[in-house]
Amino acid sequence: MRSAMPTHWAMTLETVIEKTGELDHLFALVERRCRAAGVVAASPDASAAAIVEEVINPLLAELECHLRGRLSPAMAEGEVKALIAAWIDDRIAELEA
């Protein structure tokens, strides 16, 4: 998934998440959202497909929309990390409310 990121951050969303060290944090959100949504299937392959379709893709689309317009070329990696971490924390808090 390629985002309309500022030039300094013109990379895939996956790369931005990896560079900021937020991948494990994002996985924690995916796990919580899967539990909340009750995503299950008859087989592991079907379950994985359901998780991608019902949880991961929508989450990444939401995160991409959140980042679009908030990133600037001058932002340091720590600032982008804080932006992503806060978004993930907000989504987790919504699930736990």
On the CB side of 51, CA atoms within 13 Å amount to 17
Q: Domain map of the chain by residue range?
A: 13-68+76-96
What pLDDT does residue 43 have? 64
Cβ 88 vs Cβ 29: under 8 Å: yes
Distance of CA 16 to the CA centre of its chain: 10
pLDDT tens for each residue of 49-96: 888 998 999 999 999 999 988 988 888 999 999 999 999 999 999 999
